[in-house]
Amino acid sequence: MDLGKLEASLKDEPKYRTEQVKEAVFKNLLTSWDEAKYLPVPLKQKLKLKFPLAIKAQLYKSTDGQSQKAVITFKDEQKIETVLMANRTGRNSVCVSSQVGCPMGCEFCQTGKMGLIRNLTAGEIITQLLYFARLLGTNKRIDNVVFMGMGEPLLNWENVVQSIKIINDPKAFNIASRKISLSTCGIIPGIKKLTDFPLQINLAISLHAPTSKLRSQLMPVNKKYPLPELMETVKHYVYKTGRKVMFEYLMLKDINDSPQHARQLAKLLDHPLYFVNLIKYNYTQSQFQASTEKKIKEFMQTLKNYNINTARRYSFGEDIAAACGQLAT
Ligand code: SAH
Ligand code: SF4
């Protein structure tokens, strides 16, 4: 199903038809075109062939009942993961994947170990949201979308942009751009494109190290797009958009969690619109361990002493970080 092409495929139909079809998919959440009694039979036949509505997925619930993970299998049998999280106030966030695997090879990341298998189409990104929208039912809605699942979204620009348009479309998911966030490991050309992108979505940067040397050891991307250039690009983004930027910082025991690292980080984050989210490392099969609670608190205090806006939770996508980042099929 490439729902990303749904609208384009209806260009010869009258406008009200297009709206009926979109309503069937995104508002009424139909799972079969046969349910759309109001559509003419030939159109239904065409839709059945080109845009089958069935989604092949397996659902897993977390023990605390707060999050649900789905493994979705696409036409070519490739699988990705996506996560739905409900926060305390009942708002629903979905973490979507943008690629099968990821080419960036960050040392601490499970998805990185897979390498890149392929990009997802816009329709496959939308399918992840559609799956959870159906699960929630027509009385509830998805409030936030974060591109923090498998893959590097800025390396799949066309499809990610197309999916964001559908997420934002009032006749589709109708989610405001400020409720959509994208996380990147620091693909500079992509951040530049986002700077001029008409929809003002939130930007998150997976930073994870306060110096270029350490960052190169953890994240190979830093060799191609080094920290000083990355920070310059982000500064320009803030200057042009006036929007906040979230820096994600994974707390790795004895690697990047000392008071000195905190001071270096504080100096790096030299703009009032920057804020930090400290992320607890989810154990994966790697040489890393999570920082102790004491170290995380101390680190946070040092940042606060420098007046850096610091949180331990994602305020863009709520608590979804814990569920993401260790996605691999
Ligand atoms: N490729 C993009 C989007 C994926 S976001 C990016 O890296 O930003 C997934 C987030 O989870 C990233 O911030 C990533 O660094 C983080 N992450 C990776 N492995 C993790 C782990 N084992 N525990 C916690 N977070 C992890
Ligand atoms: Fe890819 Fe992001 Fe994982 Fe790095 S952290 S390997 S960029 S998914």
pTM value? Answer: 0.95
Residue 102 Cβ inside 6 Å of ligand 2? The answer reads yes
- Compute the distance from residue 178 Cα to the ligand 1 centre, in Å: 21
Q: If you take atom 8 of ligand 2, which residue's CA is the nearest one?
A: 151
- Amino acid at residue number 268: L
In tens, the pLDDT along 158-191 reads 999 999 999 999 999 999 999 999 999 999 999 9
Q: Which CATH number fits domain 55-320: 3.20.20.140, 3.60.40.10, 3.90.79.10, 3.20.20.70?
A: 3.20.20.70
Residue 152 Cβ inside 6 Å of ligand 2? The answer reads yes
What is the helix (H) or strand (E) element at residue 133, kind and residue range? helix 122-136
Which ligand lies nearest to the CA atom of residue 112 in the structure? 2
CA torsion, ordered 210, 215, 217, 221, to nearest 10 deg:
180
Residue 299 Cβ inside 6 Å of ligand 1? The answer reads no
- Compute the distance from residue 109 Cα to the ligand 1 centre, in Å: 6
In tens, the pLDDT along 71-100 reads 999 999 999 999 998 877 889 999 999 999
Residue 321 Cβ inside 6 Å of ligand 2? The answer reads no
Q: Report residue 137 as tokens.
A: 């039912």
Tell which atom from ligand 2 comes closest to the C-alpha of 103.
1
**Whether the predicted pLDDT of 324 surpasses 70:** no
Q: If you take atom 7 of ligand 1, which residue's CA is the nearest one?
A: 185
Q: If you take atom 5 of ligand 1, which residue's CA is the nearest one?
A: 148
Rounded Cα distance between 57 and 233, Å, is 39
Q: Report residue 233 as tokens.
A: 């690009």
Query: Where does 137-274 have alpha helices with state H?
Result: 157-168, 188-195, 212-218, 221-224, 227-241, 259-268
- Compute the distance from residue 170 Cα to the ligand 2 centre, in Å: 31
| DSSP state at residue 286 | S
Rounded Cα distance between 329 and 313, Å, is 25
Which ligand lies nearest to the CA atom of residue 113 in the structure? 2
Residues with catalytic roles: 81, 324
Residue 256 Cβ inside 6 Å of ligand 2? The answer reads no
What is the helix (H) or strand (E) element at residue 184, kind and residue range? strand 180-184
Residue 324 Cβ inside 6 Å of ligand 1? The answer reads yes
In tens, the pLDDT along 40-63 reads 999 999 999 999 999 999 998 877
In tens, the pLDDT along 94-137 reads 999 999 999 999 999 989 999 999 999 999 999 999 999 999 99
Rounded Cα distance between 92 and 192, Å, is 30
Between the alpha carbon of residue 23 and those of residues 36, 138, 171, 174, 219, the distances in Å are 10, 12, 7, 11, 43
Instruction: Determine which of 7-11, 303-307, 316-320 has the lowest per-residue pLDDT on average.
Output: 316-320
Q: Report residue 294 as tokens.
A: 């004491």
- Amino acid at residue number 79: K
Task: For residue 325, name the pLDDT band (cuts at 50, 70, 90).
Answer: low
